Chain A
Amino acid sequence: MKRRKFDLAAVPGNSAVALDDRFQVATPLRRLLNKVFPDHWSFLLGEIALFSFIVLLLTGTFLTFFFEPSMTEVVYDGSYAPLRGTPMSAAYASSLDLSFEVRGGLIMRQMHHWAALLFMAAIVVHMLRVFFTGAFRKPRETNWIIGSLLFWVGFLAGFTGYSLPDDGLSGTGLRIASAIMLSIPVIGSWVTSSIFGGEFPGTIIISRFFIAHVLLIPALLLALISVHLGLVFKQKHTQWPGPGRTNGNVVGERMFPRYAIKQGGFFMVVFGVIALMGGLFQINPIWLFGPYEAWVVSAASQPDWYVMFLDGSTRLMPAWQINIPIGDGYVIPPLFWPTVVLPGILVGLSTLYPFLEARHLKDRKSHNLLQRPRDVPARTAAGAMAVSFYVVLTLSGANDVIADKFQISLNAMTWAGRIGLLIVPPLAYYVTYRLCLGLQQHDREVLAHGVETGIIRRMPDGRFVEVHQPLSAAPHGDGHGELEYTGWVVPKKMNRLGALGPAVRGFFYPIEKPAEAPVSPGHPPVEPRPEREEIGSGESRR
């Protein structure tokens, strides 16, 4: 029997057949390769959160190899001289060692911290995009709820994470967290005592936070993120209105190759930016804070930015204590309202918002087309109100620093925050509402009268008028055709109409080429990729 020669070129084909024989993957794989995604820069904000999460998992795993989650007292004897001989917890000592003794440990720690800040920031910005464009509406309410939960789970991940080093700053944060738990009526002292294993600080909290931070919370995040992405995949992405785009289709690119390649590149860019930040920008220099000691604190003790709004609400809260004169007397401390009740209300309001809006508008339809914020003034204004509320609280979280740097009285800052919290949000609502209406009106105006050309014409009778370029052939002959608004950008400049040509391109020297005709998916040409003789490395063509 003649031995067949081994044919290397047939290996991929044969393996593909062998795989499909066993798993029948051809059809599902084709579907995946073909799936169409709409493209818009604002759809990439959530990706930043996803990519930061991946960086968090990678760097965090590295950190666990060196961190010792223990509150056993040790005396520091590392290379950072100012702290040598100081008694401290093993957790703090191992965090110092991570920064000074482990080669490349500091950049890993700083990348981890920056990635966490970026993760939370991307979640918030992504959430704003989803809110202001109405992407949360039916059928996507579930994903909106999961997204809001991701913020709070991320918040917990961040808090448990930056508490771990047990340094002077994070210990103070932990002290405040214990006071917040204590403030819960009826069960407060039991909850605190159970979590801390006795009186604050106890000896167990760091190892409990550690397992929460490296196992329980990441597992929850991973599960929620998986469902979040799975639902985006199943329900297909929303898209902006535009030519050829309807509620019943998706106009965009197939997932492979171009869309997936862009995602891969974007991941590398996010990773690279985090690496640059981790290397160049110092964050949480725990060696400057010293170990946690219950009697030491410094001014300007601020938490990470996403916790600052709660710090702000705590600072602004008036000292309203509720006494309940039964038996020995019971107390609801003022701390309870801004730190337990307020977040509770925020979680409730944000998760319920899609249902509240649908109920208010009696809207039971599915929506796959996004809305421009200006077209839904009430929602946009409500969103602006929420954002301004958040901003006032966050700024108040740093009001001592602001007071110090700008030479303002500290008490005046607190009062400004208290009054601002009541006045700024309604003001933001009103201003945003008017802005939306104004923008709407301008869109309609351009649709009716055309684009301003900047050309001034003198009329025979001496008047000056500006020439407008109508957007459609005028049916009435006076240039005032009524065009329907389609929910997408109305061109407002002549070069948007291709009349002036695009701005000069090119970085070092101009790339001169004729203006590209705008892509209209309605009637475009369909051309196959130029056929090539053979699939190879590309070298054979030369």
Chain B
Amino acid sequence: MSTHTEHQAQQGREPLDVNTPGLTRFDIVREGARRDDIEIVHYEPQVVAGSKAERRLVRLVAGLFLLTGLLATAFLVIYIWWPWEYAPGRGSDKYFTPLLGVTLGLSLLGVGFGILAWGKKLLPKEVSIQDRHEGAVAEDERTITGQTMVYMADELGVKRRPLLGASLLLGLAPVGAVAAAPLVGGLISDPHKNNQMFTTGFAPAEGGQKIRLIREDGRPVRPSDISAGGQLTVFPGVEHGVSNRHADSPTLLIHLRDSDAQESRKANERVGHGDYMWGNYAAFSKICTHAGCPASLYEQQTNRLLCPCHQSQFLITDNARPVFGPASRRLPQLPIEVDSEGFFVAKSDYTETVGPDFWERP
């Protein structure tokens, strides 16, 4: 190779003829290293062959390897015969995974430390120095490659024949778009289809039928079901109302104490929600207006609702106004009443957008 012959010329060293009789194997190794611009400057065995120290190290490494074999076998035995099937309560199946971990982990550590000891302690220590050849960039080479590329560009004659370049560009641009089109076209989905971002499961059914508030088990809710100061998560009484298909519908129905209810009603009237409560009952969306987690920790004493994800806090008696944390918008309130059979229903859908904020929310 030209580079190392140059280098050898610099050092004034003739390459060694490796067929010279009488060369040791190490001489050849060192010559090979020199041809790669590596000088082995220090090479010394760490243990004397046949010494006590060597025998001890060999025993150590062999011991580690044998330990690996033993533990790996133990892994297999446990894997095959240990009772592993899950059963409730305490039982030997609970030790299955830990035992697999211990046997597999220690066996791998055994082979790992064995190899490390072999490499670090039994092989000779060395210091080699290799040249980087970074500084000596061949200007010639750059010139040749650069000129070759410019020459090729000249041959193509894009400069002299501009129409070719322009037409190629114009021809290829739509091809690029063709590659992107199925991806974008296939994935794109209109967020405003069926007005989905602004409606929830509480939207009155066709014919104006009002939607009941139901519990998680599907039963409708009567006012007497919640004691003063209590609260209950309710769902729209529609098909799949209690499921992730109506992920924006879960609502917190709160039975406020008298004084709190009065305060709440006043606050409601201030924002024109005068008829949203029914008696001392108020219903607020459970979906945090910040990042969409369920704001589910209700503190009776202060009437604050805390979202456990980012600690936004909403003051229920003030239209669920955010009073602390990163949320910037109050929780929407669901207008409720009690139907002729004595069950809670939603008077209408939410009048504000439920869930985390986005650009085009009015």
Enumerate chain A residues within 8 angstroms of B142, measured Cβ to Cβ. Answer: none
Residues of A in contact with B (beta carbons under 8 Å apart): 27, 30-31, 34-36, 73, 79-81, 87, 100-101, 103-104, 106-107, 110, 139, 172, 175-176, 178-180, 182-190, 192-201, 236, 244, 247-254, 257-258, 261-262, 264-280, 292-301, 311, 314-321, 328-335, 338, 366, 368, 399-400, 410-411, 414, 519, 521, 524-531
Give the CA-CA distance A463 to B268 in the complex, in Å.
85
Contact B324 A414 (CB under 8 A): yes
Contact B26 A525 (CB under 8 A): no
Contact B43 A279 (CB under 8 A): no
Contact A189 B359 (CB under 8 A): yes
Q: Is B161 on the interface with A (CB-CB < 8 A)?
A: no
Contact B128 A266 (CB under 8 A): no
Contact A179 B356 (CB under 8 A): yes
Residues of B in contact with A (beta carbons under 8 Å apart): 1, 24-27, 30, 32-33, 35-36, 38, 40-45, 49, 79, 84-88, 97-102, 104-116, 118-120, 123-132, 134-135, 187-193, 196-197, 233, 235, 243-244, 246-248, 250, 286-287, 290-294, 296-297, 308-312, 322, 324-329, 355-362
Contact B120 A262 (CB under 8 A): yes
Q: How far is the CB of A372 from chain B (nearest CB, A)?
A: 21
Known: A276-B101, A276-B102, A295-B233. A257 touches B86 (CB 8 A): no
Q: List 23 A-B contacts (CB under 8 A).
A: A36-B130, A175-B247, A179-B290, A189-B360, A196-B189, A197-B189, A244-B127, A251-B128, A254-B126, A258-B126, A261-B115, A265-B114, A271-B112, A272-B107, A279-B101, A295-B233, A295-B250, A366-B134, A368-B132, A521-B127, A524-B42, A524-B127, A526-B43
Contact B79 A194 (CB under 8 A): no
Knowing that A187-B359, A265-B114, A315-B325 are A-B contacts, what are 8 other residue pairs whose CB atoms are under 8 Å apart, sorted by A's residue number?
Answer: A30-B35, A34-B32, A139-B134, A244-B129, A247-B132, A297-B309, A314-B291, A319-B325
Q: Which residue of A lies closest to B26 (CB)?
A: A528
Interface of A is mostly: mixed
Contact A279 B116 (CB under 8 A): no
Q: Which residue of B lies closest to A105 (CB)?
A: B97
Enumerate chain A residues within 8 angstroms of B115, measured Cβ to Cβ. Answer: 261-262, 264-265, 268
Give the CA-CA distance A295 to B98 in the complex, in Å.
35
Enumerate chain A residues within 8 angstroms of B127, measured Cβ to Cβ. Answer: 244, 251-253, 519, 521, 524
Q: Which residue of B lies closest to A195 (CB)?
A: B187
Give the CA-CA distance A185 to B109 in the complex, in Å.
52
Give the CA-CA distance A110 to B116 in the complex, in Å.
27
Contact B100 A279 (CB under 8 A): yes
Known: A265-B114, A269-B112. A314 touches B326 (CB 8 A): yes
Contact B45 A529 (CB under 8 A): yes
Enumerate chain A residues within 8 angstroms of B108, measured Cβ to Cβ. Answer: 268-269, 271-272, 275
Contact partner of B244 among A249, A279, A292, A317, CB < 8 A? A292
Q: Which residue of A lies closest to B130 (CB)?
A: A36
Closest 9 interchain pairs by CB? Answer: A279-B101, A268-B112, A276-B105, A272-B108, A261-B119, A528-B26, A265-B115, A295-B250, A265-B116
Q: How far is the CB of B217 from chain A (nearest CB, A)?
A: 12
Enumerate chain B residues within 8 angstroms of A268, measured Cβ to Cβ. Answer: 108-109, 111-112, 115
Give the CA-CA distance A60 to B139 in the complex, in Å.
49
Enumerate chain B residues within 8 angstroms of A329, measured Cβ to Cβ. Answer: 362
Contact partner of A200 among B292, B296, B329, CB < 8 A? B292
Known: A198-B189, A279-B101, A366-B134. A331 touches B361 (CB 8 A): yes
Contact B105 A331 (CB under 8 A): no
Q: Which residue of B lies closest to A295 (CB)?
A: B250
Enumerate chain A residues within 8 angstroms of B41, measured Cβ to Cβ. Answer: 244, 521, 524, 526
Contact B359 A400 (CB under 8 A): no
Give the CA-CA distance A527 to B29 in the complex, in Å.
12
Known: A190-B188, A257-B119, A331-B357. A34 touches B38 (CB 8 A): yes
Enumerate chain B residues within 8 angstroms of A80, measured Cβ to Cβ. Answer: 86
Contact B134 A368 (CB under 8 A): yes
Contact partner of B311 among A110, A267, A400, CB < 8 A? A400
Q: How far is the CB of A148 from chain B (nearest CB, A)?
A: 24
Q: Which residue of B lies closest to A262 (CB)?
A: B119
Enumerate chain A residues within 8 angstroms of B247, measured Cβ to Cβ. Answer: 175, 199-201, 294
Give the CA-CA distance A271 to B108 in the complex, in Å.
7
Contact A273 B250 (CB under 8 A): no
Contact B109 A257 (CB under 8 A): no
Known: A195-B187, A198-B193. A175 touches B292 (CB 8 A): yes
Known: A294-B294, A529-B124. A279 touches B38 (CB 8 A): no
Q: How far is the CB of B309 from chain A (nearest CB, A)?
A: 6
Enumerate chain A residues within 8 angstroms of B357, measured Cβ to Cβ. Answer: 182-183, 321, 331, 333, 335
Give the CA-CA distance A187 to B30 in the complex, in Å.
64
Q: How far is the CB of A99 from chain B (nearest CB, A)?
A: 8
Give the CA-CA distance A400 to B361 in the complex, in Å.
30
Contact B130 A269 (CB under 8 A): no
Give the CA-CA distance A36 to B243 in the complex, in Å.
62
Enumerate chain A residues within 8 angstroms of B361, measured Cβ to Cβ. Answer: 331
Contact B102 A192 (CB under 8 A): no
Contact A334 B328 (CB under 8 A): yes
Contact partner of A31 among B36, B84, B188, B296, CB < 8 A? B36
Give the CA-CA distance A264 to B108 in the complex, in Å.
11
Contact A198 B196 (CB under 8 A): yes
Contact partner of B123 among A106, A196, A258, CB < 8 A? A258
Enumerate chain A residues within 8 angstroms of B43, measured Cβ to Cβ. Answer: 526-529
Contact B113 A189 (CB under 8 A): no
Q: How far is the CB of A375 from chain B (nearest CB, A)?
A: 22
Q: How far is the CB of A369 from chain B (nearest CB, A)?
A: 11
Give the CA-CA distance A250 to B45 in the complex, in Å.
22
Contact A275 B24 (CB under 8 A): no
Enumerate chain B residues within 8 angstroms of A201, measured Cβ to Cβ. Answer: 244, 247
Q: How far is the CB of A428 from chain B (nearest CB, A)?
A: 25
Contact A176 B287 (CB under 8 A): no
Contact B291 A175 (CB under 8 A): yes
Enumerate chain A residues within 8 angstroms of B79, measured Cβ to Cβ. Answer: 103-104
Known: A183-B358, A265-B113. A107 touches B308 (CB 8 A): no
Enumerate chain B residues within 8 angstroms of A258, measured Cβ to Cβ. Answer: 119-120, 123-124, 126
Enumerate chain A residues within 8 angstroms of B196, measured Cβ to Cβ. Answer: 198-199
Contact partner of A279 among B88, B104, B110, B296, CB < 8 A? B104
Q: Which residue of B lies closest to A196 (CB)?
A: B189
Enumerate chain B residues within 8 angstroms of A524, measured Cβ to Cβ. Answer: 41-42, 44, 127
Enumerate chain B residues within 8 angstroms of A301, measured Cβ to Cβ. Answer: 293, 308-309
Enumerate chain B residues within 8 angstroms of A267, measured Cβ to Cβ. Answer: 112
Enumerate chain A residues within 8 angstroms of B246, measured Cβ to Cβ. Answer: 294
Contact B120 A296 (CB under 8 A): no
